[in-house]
Structure 1
């Protein structure tokens, strides 16, 4: 084993540990803000794995799209949901944590078994190199067009849902027959109108 292979193996181990640790934090932490930030750590660690695979364009796209767009959208959605209510501790909440940890451990075991049981073979094809962007674009708009568009629709639904949840303070808690039809119109907050020419004309002199 050469020095470069040893460094690559150590970096792979560190990035894999970061991916697993931050992913467990996303699932197990009770603070949703911390979970959102740890999700950004998962995306960054995965981009590092792409760098080790000599997929620089995919790593840059991972940072720009997932960290710079998806994760920021999730954080904005959390901040826009401004529903104030007292926190009530859940009875026997530790059971949920144990169940969540068990599900995560089961998925990890299943994926590990699949990885170890798969006969991996190193490809002997010539690397695409600078033509990787063209090849990825061709696959996006041919083989993976439907999943690509479904992901875009999912992000749009998340954005619209965050806006509606953020403005639920304008919707009555118990709508009547007259207000059900207008519940989704979400009227703007009333503003005080200032006549033209009077703004800044009043001076503090008595």
Structure 2
């Protein structure tokens, strides 16, 4: 995507502020569901920055994998746990928050200084149009084993998250059969009382 330099700069600033605001919302929000949705906003902002860098395949992979798979998996795990316990505020929370803010500000200043002082190379050459073909070629030839290992690792983490979330429904080892069947049985629907006149009609 070839845009004018002013449009690219303005788009980058907007996407950067969107990403930083969404990231702050992920960290500072008390509602974990809202934090998960804001995390999707961070991923979408990063995909927009990839588009500005003419990395169309990486941007589409960012949306499909991180927003469409990982973020949805996080929301699925949150909804599956469904804990009703309320968080109680700790007496020394302000100390931890102050220390966290200082560490984050130090990292932000360090990264900003590094980004501003580093002589980034600039190339005026037009990007290649067959990047998707090259990525697919290397992905299914030289990097096939790491790709398959990453997919197996994601599958194992998803199964483990489901098992941990449903642990309260798994019976303990050594319990009688009656308690086991009771733990795995759904609660029955309450039956309505039938009057003798209705019994005669039946």
Which TM-score band applies after superposition, normalised by the shorter structure?
0.7 to 0.9
CA–CA distance in structure 2, aligned partners of residues 34 and 165 of structure 1: 22
Flag structure 1 segments of 5+ consecutive residues without an equivalent. 180-186, 193-203
CA–CA distance in structure 1, aligned partners of residues 106 and 140 of structure 2: 35
- TM-score of the superposition, structure 1-length normalised? 0.74
Kept in 2: contact 1:16–1:45 (CA 8 A): yes
- TM-score of the superposition, structure 2-length normalised? 0.75
Taking a change above 3 Å as real, the CA distance of residues 86 and 6 of structure 1, as seen in their structure-2 partners, is closer
Counterpart position of 2:174: 178
- The answer as to 2:65 corresponding to 1:65 is yes
Kept in 2: contact 1:22–1:42 (CA 8 A): yes
Counterpart position of 1:83: 83
Q: RMSD of the alignment, in Å? A: 3.1
Counterpart position of 1:113: 113
CA–CA distance in structure 2, aligned partners of residues 144 and 112 of structure 1: 33
Counterpart position of 2:195: none
1:159-178 paired onto structure 2 within 5 Å? 159-171=158-170, 178=174
Counterpart position of 2:178: none
Aligned residues: 184
Structure with greater helix share of residues? 2
1:47-62 paired onto structure 2 within 5 Å? 47-62=47-62
CA–CA distance in structure 2, aligned partners of residues 145 and 95 of structure 1: 47
Kept in 1: contact 2:18–2:42 (CA 8 A): yes
Shift of 1:161: 2.8
Kept in 2: contact 1:18–1:42 (CA 8 A): yes
Shift of 1:58: 1.8
Counterpart position of 1:134: 133
Counterpart position of 2:33: 33
Moved over 4 A (4+): 141-151
Kept in 1: contact 2:54–2:127 (CA 8 A): no
Taking a change above 3 Å as real, the CA distance of residues 111 and 135 of structure 1, as seen in their structure-2 partners, is farther
Flag structure 2 segments of 5+ consecutive residues without an equivalent. 176-181, 188-198
Counterpart position of 1:12: 12
Kept in 2: contact 1:50–1:59 (CA 8 A): yes
